[in-house]
Structure 1
Amino acid sequence: MVRTRSGDVQGVAPSATLAEKVEWLIRNMWPAEAPPPRNNVETAAAIARATGEDISSTTVWKLRTGRQDNPQLKTLTALATFFGVPIGYFGFPGEAGPIDDDLTFKALRREVEAGVVRSEVLRALVDLSPEARWVVDEMILAAARADRLRRHPERPPSGDS
């Protein structure tokens, strides 16, 4: 779970769809050296410039909205290269748990470096007793569920974060 640039607390669930994974990468793993995209045209152009792979804004739109869930290998390779993730990240739902955890930690580290998440908060969390850490964990999970429900009222609440 991470706090995104927009302030949302979220992570990539192991059961995430390809669209959710692509959207998560765009929001959380956008390369620091590339200007943040304002739309799918800028997203596609940045990926094409960095990878040399011609990817259209329509393809980006289809991937982000779930209208394309079986892209060509060259498209997935370009995305993996651009975002610095293993190609296995785009595997079938439920298969990429350890990869997702690694990426979540990588995104969290970037948020700390950017000052979005204060490093002293993470140090304080490590210093808490197991009981106090459990209370904080439960509060974070409850806040994440409430935030997801607020942002996506049409989705039923899930038991995981």
Structure 2
Amino acid sequence: MVEAVAPSASLAEKIEWLIHNSWPDDLPDAGTNIEIAKAISNRTGEDMSSTTVWKLRTGRQDNPQFKTLTALATFFDVPIGYFGFAEEATSIDEDLTFKALLRKLHNAEIKPEVLRALIDLSPKTRWLMDELILAAAAADRRAEA
């Protein structure tokens, strides 16, 4: 299950989420910070170093220049508000979660027949499945930490 990053998440957490869930489909998968910086620079025309990417991803830089945020927003096709304006963040996160879900469906990481089956369940059973999926996702996150 693709879970949105919380509106209160750090800039580093938001960037990591975008790299893992909203990387442009027409590019090779995100690799090193060097490859990420090059992809962003090539796509946006804004010069970005691998050091900047590293600092942003690790939280060592949490107040980048506006042009850096603009390049990130352009590259990941998100509104600039995603990076910090709380009143916009919840709506943006919901849209991004939906886009990530569609990407996983398109890439056959989530079976469409499973989603169809969930829709057809009774409300009580769907609630039970929701709880099961959320518990599994939480256990998965704990295992990765």
CA contact (8 A) 1:29 1:83 kept: yes
Deviations 1:91-132 (A, max 9, x none): 156861111011001110011011111111111111111101
Deviations 1:12-49 (A, max 9, x none): 12321110110010111110111112200000000000
Alignment-derived partner of residue 33 in structure 2: 40
Deviation at 1:11, TM superposition (A): 3.0
Alignment-derived partner of residue 22 in structure 1: 15
Map residues 98-113 of structure 1 onto 2, 5 A cutoff. Answer: 98-113=91-106
Ranges of 4+ aligned residues in structure 1 off by more than 2 Å: 92-95
Q: TM-score, normalised by structure 1?
A: 0.85
CA contact (8 A) 1:11 1:104 kept: yes
Q: What amino acid does structure 2 have at the position aligned with 1:76?
A: L
Alignment-derived partner of residue 66 in structure 2: 73
Q: TM-score, normalised by structure 2?
A: 0.94
CA contact (8 A) 1:125 1:133 kept: yes
Sequence identity (%): 67
Q: How far apart, CA to CA, are the structure 1 residues paired with 2:115 and 2:8? A: 27
Range with greater deviation from structure 2 (134-143 or 94-103): 94-103
Aligned residues: 145
> Which ranges of structure 1 fall in alignment gaps of 5 or more residues?
3-9, 153-161
Secondary structure of the structure 1 residue equivalent to 2:24? coil
Alignment-derived partner of residue 75 in structure 2: 82
> Which ranges of structure 2 fall in alignment gaps of 5 or more residues?
none
Alignment-derived partner of residue 136 in structure 2: 143
Alignment-derived partner of residue 159 in structure 1: none
Q: How far apart, CA to CA, are the structure 2 residues paired with 1:97 and 1:24? A: 14
Bigger fraction of residues in helix: 2
Q: How far apart, CA to CA, are the structure 2 residues paired with 1:91 and 1:15? A: 8
